[in-house]
Amino acid sequence: MGRASWTVGASGGGDPRCLVALGALSGRGHCSSSSCGGHGRGLGGPSARRGRRSGRDRRRTRAGARTTARRPSICSAAARGLRRRGRMARGRVGGPAQLTHRRKLPPQHRWRLCTVTKPVEELTVVVDQDGGVDDALALALLAHDPNVTIVGVGSVHGNVDADTAARNAVRVLELAGMETTPVASGASRPLQQALHLAHPADLLGKLAGAPRGHPAKASAVEQLLAAARMHAGRLSVLTLGPLTNLAKAVHADPQLPHLVRRVVMMGGAYRVGGNASATAESNIWHDPEAADIVLGAGFGDLTLVPLDITRDVTVTRLWLHHLAHRGGPGRRVAQRLLACGHRLPSFAMHDALAAAILLDPQIATYERQCLRVELNGDQRGRIVPFESGTRQPVAIAHTADRRSLFTQLHGALRGPVAARWRERRLTPGVRGDQKTVC
């Protein structure tokens, strides 16, 4: 007897256990799950208990008469076998069977099966970044996803100055084969306080090399406003640095929160200590006034990815060593990260996690709270609840699926971005396990 193969996908609007097996389960082109709205019988559901065959197949047996019921088809027999195994595995009769066995289907029956999958959502994104190594990894994640269209990349002060951050973004996009993506230089200093740079040595520039192209003449604020008007209601904004550019854009056009579909911002320390001060996270601490403007601007869908969650999502040196010795296109990227990381036991993927949450919000859990930024005293830059409740609530990422992030990151490092990174040769005499000054 032939062998059958069953594939289950997640349906977008119905039951995720829905299995469409055309002709295989019910003889008709309908879904056969008992929990779906189709017309077929469910696997082990209530209708399955009423009879195993349709009315045409059942034969009334008279006393002494010979039963002439026809032999069931291959697919019907396989479906009943799956029903029986599913009921026995759970110790009960009702409910759909667990399709855990993969079996080969005869060629004449392969047309009968199809998989119900969740429709893929396309994203139109503007990225605002400050030129760090984890910013480059976030761009690599977005560039690796075929359903993401990056319509603009802006730079802001933070890790390095805004002009250097713009050049680094141009280089990363060149490595990703996205030379036509516009890059604009943004705010070079905070709204009020003095300028402070986290990494004046420019780690990413030494990792990726000098770009061939140049940033656009338009500013990052002008680029963001133009993209929001062109893609009104569809644009997502990912901020990976201080929020100076976004705050200036809100000041220039107060209707911007109604034009943007979603904002995902990496920043803030909600219930943990900061990394720039005792209470403030670096992106917020570099421009607290801008962060408070964004939190109170009225964005309908604003997600905060704070230090509470990003500091626990780290890439270890062992993971990078494993990637460096696999021989794939991500080998040299991992070697340079190891070299620039000196003897750090792990690397926090702050911006990469924010990009992963933008791509798939389901990898994290959230709590909603109205927020503000403390602007005075020793706690300047701290994210605190907004008591009056007149602001739009913010979705604060609470926990994350690390495996999903590592899967996306591994694919990006072994994808087209990392493949073009091979064009840049390592510094002579420097290996991935050696200590260098980046």
- pLDDT tens, residue by residue, 388-429: 778 999 999 999 988 888 787 777 666 544 444 433 333 233
DSSP 340-356: HTTT-SEEE-HHHHHHH
Whether the Cβ atoms of residue 326 and residue 192 lie closer than 8 Å to each other: no
Token representation of residue 382: 């701290």
For the chain (438 residues), the mean pLDDT of every run of 10, in chain order, is 40 39 37 42 43 49 48 53 51 45 49 46 93 84 88 94 91 83 95 85 61 85 97 97 97 97 96 92 96 96 96 78 60 59 69 93 94 94 88 94 80 54 33 30
Task: Indicate the SS3 state at residue 181.
Answer: coil
- Between the alpha carbon of residue 384 and those of residues 214, 378, 380, 381, the distances in Å are 40, 14, 11, 9
Say if strands 302-305 and 260-266 run parallel, antiparallel, or are unpaired. Answer: parallel
What residue type is 171 in one-letter code? R
Token representation of residue 272: 């943990």
Number of H helices, E strands in the chain: 16, 14
Q: For residues 285 and 375, what is the distance between their CA atoms, to the nearest angstrom?
A: 10
- Give the pLDDT of residue 329: 45
Q: For residues 10 and 20, what is the distance between their CA atoms, to the nearest angstrom?
A: 11
Q: Token pair 């403007």 is at which residue?
A: 293
- Give the pLDDT of residue 235: 97
Task: Indicate the SS3 state at residue 304.
Answer: strand
Q: How many other CB atoms are found less than 10 A from the CB of residue 121?
A: 10
% pLDDT > 70, the chain: 59
CATH superfamily of 123-421: Ribonucleoside hydrolase-like (3.90.245.10)
Among 266, 355, 278, residue whose Cα is nearest residue 311: 266
- Between the alpha carbon of residue 17 and those of residues 25, 43, 87, 409, the distances in Å are 15, 11, 15, 29
Strand partners, 394: 369
pTM: 0.67
DSSP 362: G
Q: What angle do CA 395, 243, 377 make, to 5 degrees?
A: 90
DSSP 94-149: -S--------PPPGGGGGGEE---PPPPPEEEEEEE---HHHHHHHHHHHH-TTEE
Among 433, 208, 240, 209, residue whose Cα is nearest residue 341: 433
DSSP 365: E
Strands of 120-259, DSSP E: 123-129, 148-155, 183-185, 235-239
Token representation of residue 17: 């256990």
| Helix (H) or strand (E) segment spanning residue 400 | strand 394-400
* 110 φ/ψ angles, rounded to the nearest 5 degrees: -65, -25
Strand partners, 237: 126, 263
Whether the Cβ atoms of residue 360 and residue 404 lie closer than 8 Å to each other: yes
Domain extents in the chain: 1-119, 123-421
Q: Is 287 exposed, middle or buried (0-12, 13-18, 19+ CB in 10 A)?
A: buried
Strands of 205-362, DSSP E: 235-239, 260-266, 302-305, 314-316, 346-348
